[in-house]
Structure 1
Amino acid sequence: MTFTSDRVKVPHGLWEGLRQMGIQLGDIARQAGLPQDEIAGAEVSASHYYSIWRAFAELVGNTAQAIIGLATAYETAKYPPSVLATYHARDFRDALIRMTKYKQLCPPESLTIHEEGDTCRIELGWQQAVKSGPPVLAGITLACLMELGRRGTGRHLTAKSVEFTEDMGDVEALEAYFGCRIRTGAAHNRLTLRRSDLDRPFLSYNEELLEILTPALEHALDQRYTVRTISNAVKYIIKGMLSSGRPEMKTVAKELGMSERTLQRRLVREATSFKVLLSKSRHEQALHYLANDMLDIKEVAFLVGYEDQNSFYRAFRGWEGVTPAYWRVSQEH
């Protein structure tokens, strides 16, 4: 079975980053003219996702200032697993390669990377048939790549050049942030780096953590477009939403392009239910993350969708009959 969707994951740390800038979820909802409970979910439609970003830029009043403000305010600890894996890469090149690869899991943006001579060009595109995103989203995507290099290497890296297809507001502010000339009205949204910077090692390199995250991300890539049953499709989608909170059946149904009633009926045919699959997904992911002690139990609880560590403990006892800490120790013998 194959499935496609225009659903877009809302980055877990987005709302916290906006709060640090003095912008609340309600402010975005009012500016965008959208129901607050609809955009507060783990996933939204592509059109609503774009509306969120446009509203953000409008509230700040200048696209460039919105880009710089959020890129610098976004906490590394709030990165989703696909981005966390890039932050803990061996060097800047490894991080960029991982980013372009794992971006496939996070529509609507797509990235391509090309090294030639003494430069490295990273071009921003848009996945599938999704129309081009708003200027602020293009800008924040490229700014986050710059931020990734700076945070990972511990150096204030600068770009060779940056190009945008649209007007970006205060270009001088962007030039100060990227450390180079900014060109607007270009044919592509593109970040050009010095190739020598790609060899800089990451201070945040963590081989053990990558050994945890990489297999799960690679498996997600393998499963991205093709699954054999509705149950597998539901579990795949749920696992992608867990770190953003508790996935809802209506959201998963939309992802699959069907109504809740239809999804429920299809799951009954496979002798299961959404509640069962949610629990199985959390259980499987919890065991995967607990298998390596580089993640503390509080982080595991967050990654499988529990804001309250005690709730995670109760759920885990139900799955395994022991605490997460006891299970982890038992695997060492």
Structure 2
Amino acid sequence: MNDRFRISSLLAGRLTEHGLALPDLLRLAGLPGGFLQQEKIHATTAELFALWRSVGELSPDPAIGLKLGSDPRLEKYHPAAVAAVCSRSYRDAIQRMARYKQLTCPEEIGIHEENGEATVEFIYHEADNDEPEVLIDMALAWIVSVGRLGTGGQVTPLRLDLKRATRQRELLEDHFGCRVRFKAGRNALVFRATDLDRPFLTHNEELLAAIGAQLETELQSRNRTSDLGERVKRTLKRSLAGRRPSLQDIARELGMSTRTLQRRLGEAAITFQQVVEETRRELAHHYLQQEAVELNGVAFLLGYEDSNSFFRAFHGWEGTSPGEWRSRTGAMGY
């Protein structure tokens, strides 16, 4: 997967508005002094995390991430965010944001519905450590901000799950309007599934068509040059939790017929089963390095019916058990 985030040229101005001195910020992050003045700004996951950790360390405002993610000025939005606000419903908006994220970074918006609840989280597949808290605050605040703007304030999450230790509870609960569960195994918003079907008062079909057409053209161009196996893998990573997606499911997500996907995989000399196993192995390594995720939880997140099936598969990949691998690689908790 290409580890390149495209950073908006407006970011430098937004950080300055919040009282941050860019030279100090970049120095602390270990980035070049002209990093945010480039015509096209790209960063690796490690560089992006270093930047946002530095924002958190230098800013005296504990709400800076929430404020950056809730900016109501449309001129500050990426075109994908404008398209989201112009969408037909909250579900349509989140799906558009998830789709167009592919244009700017190796970060995905995961959406999972179960038992009347809808979970939305940001997934950084190239991350070697936990996401900076300011970045998580900003991303999740952005999701809620789009929903509130589109529905006229009718969307409130049921719960906010955060990996971090308990702090700033009152600030976070006041902003999101829901209880916060700290020391969770993920950073995610949980909504009523029915809230995703709320229509957007800001729906604008003409503007949506104009912006959407350009974004779709960019996306199609990118997809034509993207490795099919990696595209299937990215889609699987969004869909594995609690179930095993079928070839038909993935084809539908990729906007092609099952027959076409099967043919193109064959032309690339790979099988769907091979991609599924590679995806599960990569995600297993990622989850096992997260001390808060239990082994049974890893099996669920990888779409296995039971823990024994996961243990057998992992032993086949690594020649050892998940618990032994976790201990050997230095992860904690087991």
- TM-score range, shorter-chain basis? 0.5 to 0.7
Q: Which amino acid aligns with 1:48?
A: E
Q: Which of 115, 132, 135 in structure 1 is aligned with 2:133?
A: 135
Q: Which residue of 1 aligns with 2:68?
A: 70
Q: After superposition, where does 1:261-280 map in structure 2 within 5 Å? A: none
2:34 alignment partner, SS class: helix
Count residues in correspondence: 224
SS across alignment from 2:12: helix
Q: Which runs of 5+ in 2 are unaligned?
A: 227-334
Structure 1 residue 112 displacement after superposition: 1.4
Provide the alpha-carbon RMSD of the alignment: 2.4
Q: Is the 8 A contact 1:160 1:193 kept in 2?
A: yes
Opposite residue 222 of structure 2, the aligned amino acid is R
Q: Is residue 7 from structure 1 mapped to residue 4 from structure 2 by the alignment?
A: yes
Distance in 1 (alpha carbons) for counterparts of 2:154 and 2:14: 21
**In structure 2, distance between residues paired with 1:172 and 1:90:** 33
| TM superposition shift of 1:132 | 4.4
Q: What residue is the counterpart of 1:201 in the other structure?
A: 199
Cα distance, 1:169 vs structure 2? 4.1
Give the drift of 1:31.
3.1
Contact 1:108–1:130 under 8 Å retained in 2? no
- Distance, in Å, in 2 between the alignment partners of 1:69 and 1:96 is 20
Partner of 2:175: 177
Equivalent residues in 2 for 1:250-265, closer than 5 Å: none
Q: How does 1:17-28 map to 2 (within 5 A)?
A: 17-28=14-25
1:218 lines up with 2:216 in the alignment: yes
Query: Quick one: distance in 2 between partners of 1:188 and 1:166?
Result: 9
Query: After superposition, what is the alpha-carbon deviation per residue over 1:232-279, rounded to whole angstroms, capped at 9, x for unaligned?
Result: xxxxxxxxxxxxxxxxxxxxxxxxxxxxxxxxxxxxxxxxxxxxxxxx
**Sequence identity of aligned pairs in percent?**
35
Residue number in structure 2 paired with 1:52 = 51
Q: Return the alpha-carbon distance in structure 2 between the equivalents of residues 86 and 147 of structure 1.
A: 11
Compared CA separation, residues 43 and 187, structure 1 to 2 (3 A):
same
Output the CA distance in 2 between the equivalents of 1:141 and 1:166: 15
The higher-RCO structure (CA 8 Å, 6+ apart) is 1
Once residues 168 and 223 of structure 1 are traced to their aligned partners in structure 2, the CA distance between those partners, rounded to angstroms, is 44
Q: 2:18, 2:10 → 1: CA distance?
A: 13
**1:156 to 1:102, Cα distance in 2 relative to 1, 3 A:** same
Give the whole-Å Cα distance in 2 for the aligned partners of 1:201 and 1:111: 20
TM-score norm. by structure 1 comes to 0.61
Alpha carbons of structure 1 residues 204 and 112: separation in structure 2 relative to 1, 3 Å: same
Distance 2:205 2:166 in 1: 38
Change (3 A) 1:156 1:19: farther
Secondary structure of 2:8's aligned partner: coil
SS of the aligned residue for 1:17 comes to helix
Please give the secondary structure, in 2, of the residue aligned with 1:155. coil
Give CA deviations for 1:18-51 in whole Å, capped at 9, x if unaligned.
2332224334223324222123332223322211
Residue type of the alignment partner of 2:26: A
Secondary structure of the residue that 1:29 maps to in structure 2? helix
Once residues 72 and 26 of structure 2 are traced to their aligned partners in structure 1, the CA distance between those partners, rounded to angstroms, is: 20
1:159 is aligned to 157
Q: Is the 8 A contact 1:122 1:190 kept in 2?
A: yes
Q: Residue 111 of structure 1 corresponds to which residue in structure 2? A: 109
State how far apart, in whole Å, the 2-side matches of 1:204 and 1:16 are: 27
1:36 match: secondary structure? coil
| TM-score of the superposed pair, with normalisation by structure 2 | 0.60
Give me the whole-angstrom Cα distance separating, in 1, the residues matched to 2:125 and 2:101.
10
In the alignment, is the contact (CA less than 8 A) between 1:65 and 1:173 conserved in 2? Answer: yes
Structure 1 stretches lacking a partner, 5+ long: 229-333
Partner SS, residue 190 of structure 2: strand
